[in-house]
A = this chain, B = another copy of it.
Amino acid sequence: MVITIGRQYGSGGRELGKKLADQLGFDFYDEELVNLAAKKSNMNEEVLKQVDEKATRSFLYSLVTGTDIRGLNSPIYYEMPINDKLFIAQAEIIKELAQKSNCVIVGRCADYILRDTDVDCVNLFIYADMEKRIARIMRLYGLARDKAKEQIVKTEKRRKAYYNYYSNRDWGRMENYHLCIDAGEVGIDNAVELVRDYVLKKNK
């Protein structure tokens, strides 16, 4: 079973995923996916980190116009923007990991990538109201209020663009997920318990 987590920036989705994985004895993947993709593709890890979960910038589109950029066998694979290469490498890794063991995967369109496989998925979305997210980011990164808010808005815009670009779905639209939790309202630890109970019920 794979638990995928879509999350608003600052909602605590990553923390929830980590705790959930610990409690269920599942593997946990978030930024680790970049390292794995770097190894797999022989690309530079530091370069990949800079484009992780970011959609292709528009001036790079011309290279792939009219071609299914998600097809590994495309003849222009090596002319692709690095974001697309990373997406493809991560997608392969996500499919491999999903076959190997139970795991929690944060972001990176994992829900979409696994949609037509035989993997048993629980797709979560974690959100929280803006004030609570600002407070969390201020606390975690020692930022002033306006900087924290700016970082939330920018990161979220990128994530949304990334998800929508690679998935042809709407990021944060509830119908794409099985369970959506306002973690700001109920708290991370309660949300972890809820999801754990959900998973156990589904496995019954």
Contacts and interface: CB of A to CB of B under 8 A. Distances in A.
Interface of A: 125, 127, 129, 172-175, 177-182, 185-186, 190, 193-194, 197-198, 201-202
B194 A198 contact: yes
A50 B137 CA distance: 49
A68 to B, nearest CB: 26
Ranked nearest first, the 6 interchain pairs of A and B with the lowest CB-CB distance are A180-B180, A190-B201, A174-B174, A178-B182, A178-B185, A174-B180
Contacts of A190: 198, 201-202
Contact of A174 (B127, B178, B193, B194): B127
Contacts of A180: 174, 177, 179-181
Nearest to A182: B178
Copies of this chain per assembly: 2
A127 B175 contact: yes
Nearest to A172: B174
A11 to B, nearest CB: 11
Contacts of A181: 178-180
B174 A201 contact: no
Given A186-B201, A194-B194, 5 more contacts: A129-B175, A178-B181, A178-B182, A180-B180, A197-B197
A185 B176 CA distance: 12
A202 B173 CA distance: 25
